[in-house]
Structure 1
Amino acid sequence: MIETLKKQSLLAIAIAAASTPVVAEESEIIEEVITIGTRVEGRSAADSAVPIDIITGEDFVNQGDSDLNSLLRNVVPSYNVNTQPISDAASLVRPANLRGLAPDHTLVLVNGKRRHRAAVIAWLGNGVSDGAQGPDISQIPSIALQQVEVLRDGAAAQYGSDAIAGVINFQLKDDSDGGAIEVKAGQFYEGDGRQFTVAGNYGMPFTDQGFVNVSFEAGSKQDTDRSVQRDDAAGLIAAGNTAVATPAQVWGSPEIKDDFKSVVNLGLELGGGKEFYAFGNYGSKTVDGGFYFRNPETRSAVFSDGSGPLIGDLNPDNGLDSCAGFTHAQAIASDECFSFQEMFPGGFTPRFGGYVTDLSGLAGVRGELDNGWAYDVSASLGYNDVDFFIYNTVNASLGPQSPTSFNPGAYTQLEKNFNIDLIKGFEVGLASELSVATGFEWRDETFEITTGDQASYEIGPLAAQGFSAASNGFPGFGPLAGGQWSRSNLATYIDMEADIVDGWLMAGALRFEDFEDFGTTVNGKLATNLELSEAVSLRASWSTGFRAPTPGQSNAFNVSTEFDVALNDLVNNGTIPSTNPVAQLRGGEALDPEESTNWTIGAVFSAGPIDVTVDYFNIELEGRIAPSQLYSLTQTEVDTLVASGVTSAANLQNFRFFTNDFDTTTKGFDIVATYGTDAIGDSTDISLAFNQTQTSVDSFTPETIDATRIRELEEGLPETRWNLSSTTFVGDWRFLARASYYDDWYDSEDDQKYSGEVIVDAEVSYAFNEQASVILGAQNILDQTPEENPGAAGGVGNRYSQFSPFGFEGGFYYLRTRYEF
């Protein structure tokens, strides 16, 4: 089935294209024109009733990183993403936050069409992202982008589920000729993390009535290390154990191999005012990162029973406890006794990762009916698969028969969409036509857990002697945990917009959705823009919204090995479906959608070369979906979980489940200012983007959400961020400088609050001619790192906070060469 889907989607990509006007030569995008937040063509960002940031493709190209998440963070202060060094599956698809909310509170569009979410659920995300299942935008190559629009307002009434924090729309290039090739290489100041990418974009005619535009990016990233040696590992080495690695545990970015991204965008006029469009992507990568160190003297259920060495009796049928009191050395010397120090005398640190595959295809036709209604009919397929692997570890219950590498299974997300959109303008005696848009959407979403190899979940013969079952660090999915869960929904909407009088825009939307698992929801929106003068206008909006729980959140099983600060030790924590009988004993029940109320008020000022926007926002979220606090398992609950297919529950200390059990208010304001002048060089553009966001937990059940989680939600992200950037052209030279401020943040892993920092980026470019240029730049040119973790050596060896909002690896320099044709 998976191979068939890949072939079908690759075929869709081969005929792919854009939802922008077809003839590229006649559709030059003016930077201020927007395509989201309104269904009226030609609306500008300044005239919009809601705040929208427009980011050009050049803003992404003129950076050193190749991950679109990091590129977006560097230019949008309300967007946060961090490194995720030891974060379970979140290391494969990094969770990102817009306006202080979870990754799946932001709707992502490509060419105005909904993008599928990733299969990964971020089990470890410093509270704010815990349990979120958002899209993977890192699969889009930056060279494919014409512009990006960031709608900073609730838009569920217009676009459906997830559009609570806002909407990000990626507009793909639609040129029918020309292109560019770019080669980029770089590394961190410390000499690691080398990156190399080759990217290209090419536009060509598609007959004489259309275009096809192709983009790709291929590359790799080496891993990094910003660790200190743990005290326990240093003690082992001092005692003569030469098999312990230095460092025993690595904190840094994972290695990314075979990273390939591609996008195809196509449009074709069919005659009679009709046009066909399509677009799609294919991407794949291998991500390989580290886990926590297993101490060869103290790691419970592998090397220790809690009071002394854990020694396995390989011949328990003899009726004699022949291994009682043995040391590890004595067990290694015995034929009937076993110690894992024989396989790992220096302990072990599992390596964990996955093979990520992402593909999508969308095709549609639009035109205008004889009665004046413009139509747009489209269908899409989106697929994301993460096939996990873990090695340098064991299934301890299998004893000496245990392999050291495992296939724990896979998560797969499949989405299908069908849309019909209609729009027509009516003369009703207002200053402009009344634009009426309506439409229908059918969406089907499937989440699948594929079982792992038997050794990854098996309860082996030594389990009865206290050895842990399943692959240590990331247990495999057993037959009863595996499965496929689907959910479909139908939606219809009406959206109206008009200028009541000259300079006064009013807009409204109403949306009805029916989900097969939890029923219906109705959401609405009102928005306005009032022009007080040519230089000043006011805007405001009010809306309700919702986010539906994903089939993955409702049904996924997961076990994570996490560091417990209070115990100063590793513990195995499991996440089970909220409808599992064990979860129901603690209040678990079927999930409901989150509900939100959003309102914003702002102003737009224009004075010659200076443009300023100021917007205040307030988002009230009720019944937020997130994992509960951890509950200690009783032996009865362990037995019940094992019987339900969670075989690794035999070694679980705690469990949690998804719940709708707390309400929050997120509020703040954004300021965006731009200034252009010819007084500096040939021309200079200066921009300031400022964001201040606060989240408060208004109500919760203490038995379900604990105090640490509350602090994560309220303090886990910087409250204040700003970017100040300047680009100057002098002849064939271009100079770019960017200063970014990140406020302080709380790291629950270290139980510490870290101070904010200012990060400076710089880039200089020289154009040899109109086609060829060379660019030298540095991100974090001053080599700024977060303040050091005072408990690193006594804990798990992380020199810096893993949740640093600007990373913790220091300065990164790069060289790019670019040729345009």
Structure 2
Amino acid sequence: MSRHSVFTRKAGAFALGSLATLFLGSALAAGPAQTYHLAPGPLDEVLLSISRQSGQVISFTPDVAGYSSAPVDGTYSTQQAVDAALRGTGLQLQVSDDGAFVVRQGAQRSAPQRASEAAASGSTPTLDRVVAVGTRRQDATTLTSMAPVDVIDASELVQTGATSLNQALFQLLPSFNFPQNQSATRGQDPKGASLRGLSPDQTLVLVNGKRRHASAVVNISGGVPFIGAQSVDLDMIPISAIDHVEVLRDGASAQYGSDAIAGVINIVLKERDSGGQANAQLGKYSQGDGFGKSADGWYGLSLPGDGFLTLSFNGLNNKPDDIGEKYYADGQWQDPRWGGASREKFNLAANAEIGLSDAWRLYSFGTFGRDTSYNNTPPLLAGSPNNVPEIYPNGTIPQYRYHYEDASLTFGSRYEDEALGRFDLSATYGRDKHTERASDTVNPSYGVASPTSFDVATLINEQTNLNLDYSRDVPVDWAFKPLTLSAGLAWRDERYRLQAGDFDSYSYGGIDGVQVGAVQASGLTPDDADTYTRQVRGLYLGLENQLTERFQFGLAARTEHYSDFGDTTTGKLSARYELTPQLGLRATINNAYRAPSLGQIGTSWTTTTNVGADGNPVLTRMLPVDNPAARALGAEKLKPEKSDNYSLGLVWRPSEQASLTVDAYQIDIRDRILYSGGIYGPEAERILTAAGYGQYSWAQFMTNAADTRTRGVDVVGKYNFELGAYGNLGLSAGYTRTRTRVEKIHENPNGFVTVTRESEGYLEHGYPEDKLVLGAVHSYGPWTFSLYETRFGRYRKYASDASAAQYDQTFSAQWITDLDINYAFNRSLKVSVGANNLFDSHPDKYNEQLRQTPAQQYSYLSPAAPEGTFYYTRLTYDF
């Protein structure tokens, strides 16, 4: 066998042959599965190793020696092994109808490994793989990158038994924390991505490398952490559409712009041009409620020019569950059924690409989701002065409906030329619409004339992005590998709208001495309704290089101009040094920022508490920061949150089967955005009256309230065992410990409280102080066993006032066990049974003095859902 075979014109022309010929050749050339253990290295050497082991001749040009291979570690057919080696290089495999293997630029796509083939091969999770987030190089992997990156593939997401992306990542990633308590309306809010103990809107979310729009909902619910956050709703992307998820645990504003203080999550969609999969899952809680059914799947189609179209969907229907506590009131025992919402949801996704030539490709992807949920609010008792006995003689339990519609669409074009470099021009539009409606309630000021259902509010968030990205690998004599240059231009338009609810939901109906507005559902008023807009222009530059065989570095800088608060500039320096071939050190220094979201700038909500003696309504209001009443109370124009981030890590690869990473970090954030404490009392009333706003008795607004310092460490270890006749076993362990301290509180000019005792407690102790995730995946013949054990450390809830400090509560550590057992009847049909929280673990019960309603048995801070064990079964069919 010759070491290199030079492409001929005939071979080049043959590469553009029919897709049917490619499929036939792929089937003939797939070959029997073999186990490979090839570490990353020069691509030509790795291809030669595959060729020697498989006996398959692989042709490639001499310049392949300038590329680095991805690791090939697992059980693969020959074609799958070559595809694994080529991942991230820009090179592709052509298989002729007579079984010849040719590696070249712009070749036809090789058929992806089907999920059923992966299961049948019994391969354990790959320890290392090429990543796209946090770098512009095409050969960076999780274990060779200069910053910590976790990669979660589709099979790992499915093995959790989760039906939403947020829940799956929460179970798998130690650094990912977001309270999963689904009780009451708090559980209906969008679920974001909280990394390293920071707010979910301090993590940037990308889909296929493109910025994702945020939800229309700003978290204004009391009793929960991250109040004021406007995060991306991860659950609007179906798991069935996802190929893998990359999680960069490092500040990256210099590379990606606003929001990347804690890190970046890049969701990579499937690219399938054939085959498909369908799944159905049923489950319920051991306590007998919360029955859920879901269905999802994907289907791949070929498109011209070596293209693909992958369509994905999921549908979900959940019944409500009850974790409330009965209590005695109004002369009888009350059973409010306080728990998880009933939910109907579906998501669609499409990912497509076609080739116009070997160098020029067009792509598009989009998602659409609709989510409707219903949940109970605290009861309106029969004897309450706000009840209307003629309508509800026995009282009522108002019900709240949240309805989300979320859509995103991206169009783009990539052009790649060896001399010119790689160009990527794209446009993305995203929109999230949120509507709230209440039923089984009443506006008592209307008496018997009151409606019993109300449209409460409509919130809409829109975002349009235009991006031009460029990168080029420039060969240089003085460096071990080519120098990667990158640059880009970005333009973004953002719009946020608040629309008023029904007139009857907030207006005064003429009856005094009772609440004005719908009980538990006072609507958004015309004074609250408004539209906010901004435009952002940005420019970034980057430089990365493997300077020597042991040392690599990266530089990045970005400047952006915001139409509403001016310019901001960030930079990042990254480096890595290999002490030995098995042991490396990595470090980053960067400054990052997060611009205030338009929702944070504009959120407003007025509640009419009663009517004063003068006949005028008395109002409480969550004020937008630019409102004159807020300015009178000392509100100032919001500034971006800015941070200085430092990280130092160690990467140890003692063998091809084992890896260990340890990364320590410090994140100093200035001007963190929080809601002020409630402002009321004689001094507040004096200031408001003097400013002409005497109708307000209580107010609250957003403010740059505090400076904080977050320190922590992330540890991730993996080990793969080959057990011969007993299959393969993959072990993993992840541990994170983080702590945030408030370094400085920014005082209000009028002396009002900007950070309450409760809010400070959320920042410092409102999440587990540490988290441990232990995992084991054992493949044995047709069986796959997945076992995960998670320990959540202690967390704490503070009373709002120091006078009630005796009621502060520290919650004990909690262990959760998740088990999934999968059996493959053949290469197409599989069945799984599993349990989340197998041993029915529950968090500590909530102090009665801290509860917001007597039925609230568990704190909203509970990291794991307190319903207990959830049993499920899932059927999968691959075709």
Which amino acid is the alignment partner of residue 835 of structure 2?
A
Q: Distance in 1 between the 2:193 and 2:340 partners?
A: 16
CA apart distance, 1:748: 4.8
Which amino acid is the alignment partner of residue 532 of structure 2?
W
- What are the superposed Cα offsets for residues 301-322 of structure 1, whole Å, 9 maximum, x if unpaired? x25xxxxxxxxxxxxxxxxxxx
Partners of 1:200 and 1:217 within 8 A in 2: yes
Bigger drift between 465-474 and 571-580 goes to 571-580
CA apart distance, 1:59: 0.8
Q: Distance in 1 between the 2:853 and 2:436 partners?
A: 27
SS of residue in 1 equivalent to 2:247: strand
Q: Distance in 2 between the 1:192 and 1:20 partners?
A: 50
The within-5 A match list for 1:109-188 is: 109-124=206-221, 126=223, 128-188=225-285
CA apart distance, 1:790: 4.5
Partners of 1:232 and 1:794 within 8 A in 2: no
Q: Indicate which of 25, 30, 46 corresponds to 2:110.
A: 25
Q: Indicate which of 504, 516, 519 corresponds to 1:472.
A: 519
Q: Indicate which of 246, 266, 278 corresponds to 2:364.
A: 278
The within-5 A match list for 1:298-317 is: 298=384, 302=386
- What are the superposed Cα offsets for residues 521-548 of structure 1, whole Å, 9 maximum, x if unpaired? 0000000010111110000000001100
Task: Tell me, yes or no, if structure 1 residue 399 matches structure 2 residue 494.
Answer: no
Q: Distance in 2 between the 1:347 and 1:520 partners?
A: 55
Q: Indicate which of 663, 686, 701 corresponds to 1:657.
A: 701
Partners of 1:546 and 1:594 within 8 A in 2: yes
- State the match for 2:379 in structure 1: 293
Task: Tell me, yes or no, if structure 1 residue 201 matches structure 2 residue 248.
Answer: no
- What are the superposed Cα offsets for residues 202-244 of structure 1, whole Å, 9 maximum, x if unpaired? 11101252000010001211111111112325xx217xxxxxx
Q: Distance in 1 between the 2:371 and 2:698 partners?
A: 33
- State the match for 2:784 in structure 1: 734
| Distance 1:573-1:251 versus aligned 2 partners, 3 A rule | farther
- State the match for 2:558 in structure 1: 511
SS of residue in 1 equivalent to 2:177: strand
CA apart distance, 1:635: 11
Task: Tell me, yes or no, if structure 1 residue 384 matches structure 2 residue 432.
Answer: yes
- State the match for 2:829 in structure 1: 772
Partners of 2:297 and 2:312 within 8 A in 1: yes
CA apart distance, 1:451: 1.6
Q: Distance in 2 between the 1:443 and 1:433 partners?
A: 32
Which amino acid is the alignment partner of residue 262 of structure 1?
L
- State the match for 1:458 in structure 2: 507
CA apart distance, 1:25: 2.0
| Distance 1:223-1:509 versus aligned 2 partners, 3 A rule | same
- What are the superposed Cα offsets for residues 534-576 of structure 1, whole Å, 9 maximum, x if unpaired? 11000000000110011111111125899xxxxxxxx996421
Which amino acid is the alignment partner of residue 592 of structure 2?
G
Partners of 2:553 and 2:575 within 8 A in 1: yes
SS of residue in 2 equivalent to 1:143: helix
SS of residue in 2 equivalent to 1:271: coil
The within-5 A match list for 1:319-338 is: none
Task: Tell me, yes or no, if structure 1 residue 705 matches structure 2 residue 750.
Answer: no
| Distance 1:694-1:636 versus aligned 2 partners, 3 A rule | closer
Q: Distance in 2 between the 1:561 and 1:75 partners?
A: 45
Which amino acid is the alignment partner of residue 161 of structure 1?
S
- What are the superposed Cα offsets for residues 274-311 of structure 1, whole Å, 9 maximum, x if unpaired? 00011000100101112222344456xx25xxxxxxxx
SS of residue in 2 equivalent to 1:348: coil
| Distance 1:392-1:42 versus aligned 2 partners, 3 A rule | same
Higher relative contact order (CA 8 A, sep 6+): 1
- State the match for 1:632 in structure 2: 680
Task: Tell me, yes or no, if structure 1 residue 346 matches structure 2 residue 404.
Answer: no
- State the match for 1:789 in structure 2: 846
Partners of 1:88 and 1:560 within 8 A in 2: no
- State the match for 2:28 in structure 1: none
- What are the superposed Cα offsets for residues 115-167 of structure 1, whole Å, 9 maximum, x if unpaired? 11000111127554100001111011111111111000000010000000000
- What are the superposed Cα offsets for residues 342-391 of structure 1, whole Å, 9 maximum, x if unpaired? 32333333211221100000010011368513210000100100011011
Which amino acid is the alignment partner of residue 185 of structure 1?
L
Task: Tell me, yes or no, if structure 1 residue 600 matches structure 2 residue 685.
Answer: no
CA apart distance, 1:251: 2.5
Q: Distance in 2 between the 1:518 and 1:84 partners?
A: 36
- State the match for 2:595 in structure 1: 548
- State the match for 2:622 in structure 1: 575
- What are the superposed Cα offsets for residues 251-274 of structure 1, whole Å, 9 maximum, x if unpaired? 3111112x1011100011111500
Which amino acid is the alignment partner of residue 833 of structure 2?
L
Q: Distance in 2 between the 1:697 and 1:366 partners?
A: 45
Partners of 2:498 and 2:528 within 8 A in 1: yes
Bigger drift between 105-114 and 727-736 goes to 727-736
Q: Distance in 2 between the 1:194 and 1:411 partners?
A: 30
Bigger drift between 540-549 and 782-791 goes to 782-791
Which amino acid is the alignment partner of residue 800 of structure 1?
Y
Q: Distance in 1 between the 2:852 and 2:518 partners?
A: 27
Q: Distance in 1 between the 2:143 and 2:291 partners?
A: 41
Partners of 1:783 and 1:810 within 8 A in 2: yes
- State the match for 1:755 in structure 2: 812
Q: Indicate which of 536, 546, 552 corresponds to 1:499.
A: 546
Q: Distance in 1 between the 2:686 and 2:674 partners?
A: 23
Which amino acid is the alignment partner of residue 674 of structure 1?
K
| Distance 1:686-1:86 versus aligned 2 partners, 3 A rule | closer
Structure 2 portions without partners, runs of 5+:
1-87, 91-105, 115-125, 610-617, 748-752, 800-806
Which amino acid is the alignment partner of residue 864 of structure 2?
F
Partners of 1:361 and 1:381 within 8 A in 2: yes
- State the match for 1:410 in structure 2: 458
Q: Distance in 2 between the 1:393 and 1:255 partners?
A: 18
| Distance 1:685-1:560 versus aligned 2 partners, 3 A rule | farther
Partners of 2:369 and 2:405 within 8 A in 1: yes
Q: Distance in 2 between the 1:711 and 1:572 partners?
A: 28
| Distance 1:272-1:782 versus aligned 2 partners, 3 A rule | closer
CA RMSD, 1 decimal: 2.6
Q: Distance in 1 between the 2:828 and 2:191 partners?
A: 35
Partners of 1:20 and 1:111 within 8 A in 2: no
When normalised by structure 2's length, the TM-score is 0.80
CA apart distance, 1:634: 6.2
Q: Give identity over the alignment, percent.
A: 31
CA apart distance, 1:709: 1.1
CA apart distance, 1:71: 0.8
| Distance 1:174-1:20 versus aligned 2 partners, 3 A rule | farther
Structure 1 portions without partners, runs of 5+:
1-18, 239-245, 304-339, 563-570
SS of residue in 2 equivalent to 1:517: coil
CA apart distance, 1:708: 1.6
- What are the superposed Cα offsets for residues 15-61 of structure 1, whole Å, 9 maximum, x if unpaired? xxxx9979552777985100001001121111100000011111111
Q: Indicate which of 731, 734, 749 corresponds to 1:686.
A: 731
Bigger drift between 376-385 and 206-215 goes to 206-215
- State the match for 2:803 in structure 1: none
Task: Tell me, yes or no, if structure 1 residue 819 matches structure 2 residue 857.
Answer: no
SS of residue in 1 equivalent to 2:272: coil
Bigger drift between 72-81 and 672-681 goes to 672-681
| Distance 1:395-1:86 versus aligned 2 partners, 3 A rule | farther
Q: Distance in 2 between the 1:737 and 1:393 partners?
A: 45
SS of residue in 2 equivalent to 1:399: helix
Q: Indicate which of 447, 451, 468 corresponds to 2:496.
A: 447
Partners of 1:90 and 1:120 within 8 A in 2: no
CA apart distance, 1:433: 1.8
| Distance 1:624-1:811 versus aligned 2 partners, 3 A rule | same
- State the match for 2:323 in structure 1: 226
- State the match for 1:721 in structure 2: 771
CA apart distance, 1:409: 2.1
Bigger drift between 433-442 and 89-98 goes to 89-98
Q: Distance in 2 between the 1:404 and 1:751 partners?
A: 38
